[in-house]
Amino acid sequence: MKIEEIEQEIINEFEHFYEWIDKYDYLIELGKSLPLIDPAYKTNNYLITGCQSQVWLHAEMEGDKIIFKADSDAIITKGIVGLLIRTLSGQTPDDIINAKLEFIDKIGLRDHLSPTRSNGLTSMYKQMKLYALAFKTKMSQ
C-alpha cells in the first residue's frame, strides 16, 4: 500500500473521534499494539535524541523495503511512533524520503501535542528519513 493510502486510512480512523481525549485513547491503543522491539535495540545507539521520553528506533532492509521497529517508555509517544511505523515501514527509501506525512496535520496531531512531544515527533520522522537516506546510499554503491 502506498504511503498516501495509509495516510488516508489514518485520517479516516481519526475522523470517528470528535474529542481529543478519545483520539489520545486511540493513540494509546495503537501503542499497545506495536510489536515488541528486540531488547538488543533498546540501547543508546538506537535512542532518538530530541524526544522528551525515550524512543528507540531500529531499521533494516528487507529486499528493497525498509522495516522499522520501535519502542518508547511513554504510552502516547509509543502510539505516535506506531503511526509513523504504520505509514513508513515496508516502503522504499525513496518513498520514505519523499513522504510529506500530511496526515499529522490533517488529524490535528501536531496542534494537540506539547511542544516537547511535537519536537519528539519531528525527531522520530527525521531519524526515519535519515535511515532511508543511509539505505539509499548503501544500495547505490
Instruction: Tell me, letter by letter, the H, E, C secondary structure of 50-94.
Output: CCCCCEEEEEEEECCEEEEEEEECCHHHHHHHHHHHHHHCCECHH
Domain of residue 24: give its range: 3-139
Is-catalytic flag, 44? no
Q: Beta 55-62 vs 65-72: how paired, if at all?
A: antiparallel
Instruction: State residue 52's pLDDT score.
Output: 79
Cα separation of 140 and 54, whole Å? 33
Nearest to 65 by CA among 94, 103, 36: 94
Pairwise pLDDT comparison (49 vs 13), residue with the higher score: 13
Q: Which distant-in-sequence residues (6+ apart) come within 8 Å of 28 by Cβ? A: 75, 76, 79
Instruction: State residue 114's pLDDT score.
Output: 84
CATH number at residue 118: 3.90.1010.10
**19 pLDDT above the threshold of 80:** yes
Domains in the chain, number: 1
Among 51, 66, 76, 101, the one annotated catalytic: 51
Q: What is the mean pLDDT of the chain?
A: 93
How confident is the model over 26-52, as pLDDT tens digits? Answer: 999 999 999 889 999 999 999 998 877
**129 pLDDT above the threshold of 80:** yes
